[in-house]
Amino acid sequence: MLLDTPICDFGWKAPDFTLKDPYGESFTMREHLGEKGLLIAFICNHCPYVQRIGQCLAEDAKLLMAEGINVLAIMSNDYELVEADSPENMKSFAKDFGFTFPYLVDDDQSVGKQYGAICTPDFFGLNSQGELQYRGRLDDARMGDASGRVPELINAMRLIAESGNGPKSQSPSMGCSIKWRT
C-alpha cells in the first residue's frame, strides 16, 4: 500500500532514543545529533521503494557524513510478521547496499510511533538542536538533470547544517506502510 507522509512540522522536538543494531551495539539519538544535524531514515528490507533507493541512500549518506552530518536508519516493522525485515536479514541488506551508517532495530516499535513514521522510506532531517526541519523524500525525480535525479535530501540537509532551518518546499516521502503489531 503506497502512502505519503504529512508535511514537515517545523521545530518539532525529536524525542531521544537508544536502539541496537542487529549486532547488539547500542546507539543513542542524542549522541549522533552533531553540530550539523542528523538525518534519520525509517527503512526496511522488503519494501520495493527502499530497495529502489538503497544504493542512492548509501551514497548520499556517505556524502553527508563526510560533510559532518550524521545518519541513522531505523527498521520499525514487525519482523515476526515480515521475516525479510528480521535483524539477521538487516545485516545482509546493509552489507549488500554498502551502508556506512548504523541500521537500528526498533523492536517494540516505540521510536517509529513517537516519530509518527508512516512509510518506508520516511526521512527526518533534524538540526543541531534536535528540531525537525525536513520531512520528505530522498530526491525528486520529477525534475533535474538528465538522470532525472534532484538530490532533495542532500540539499535539505546541507541547508539545515548551514542555517539550522530546512527548506520551505518539501516533497513528501512515499512508500510502503510500516507493518505495526496488532
Domain ranges of the chain: 2-177
Q: Is the pLDDT of residue 121 over 50?
A: yes
pLDDT value at residue 6: 73
pLDDT of amino acid 139: 80
Residues 66-75: tens digit of each pLDDT: 999 999 999 9
| Reported confidence tier of residue 171, pLDDT bands at 50, 70, 90 | confident
What are the helix (H) ranges across the chain?
29-32, 48-66, 87-97, 110-115, 152-163
For the stretch 12-44, pLDDT in tens is 999 999 999 999 999 999 999 999 999 999 999
Q: Say if CB 99 and CB 58 are below 8 A apart.
A: yes
At residue 45, does pLDDT exceed 70?
yes
Q: Which of 37-46, 72-81, 138-147 has the lowest mean pLDDT?
A: 138-147
Give the relative orientation of helices 87-97 and 48-66 as an angle to the nearest 10 degrees: 60
**CA 2 to centroid of chain Cα atoms:** 17
What's the average model confidence in pLDDT over 126-146?
A: 79
The pLDDT, as a whole number, for residue 70 is 98
Q: According to the model, what pLDDT value does residue 163 have?
A: 97
Residue 158 to residues 33, 42, 67, 104: CA-CA distances in angstroms?
Answer: 15, 20, 9, 24
Which of 5 and 155 is assigned the larger pLDDT? 155
| Burial label, 50 (beta-carbon count in 10 A; 0-12, 13-18, 19+) | buried
Average pLDDT of the chain is: 92
CATH classification number, 2-177, choose in 2.60.40.1930, 3.40.30.10, 3.50.50.60, 2.60.120.10: 3.40.30.10
In this structure, the strands spanning 132-136 and 122-126 are antiparallel
pTM of this prediction? 0.93
Mean pLDDT of 117-139: 95
Closest CA to 173 of 125, 103, 109, 126: 125
pLDDT in tens, 80-98: 999 999 999 999 999 999 9
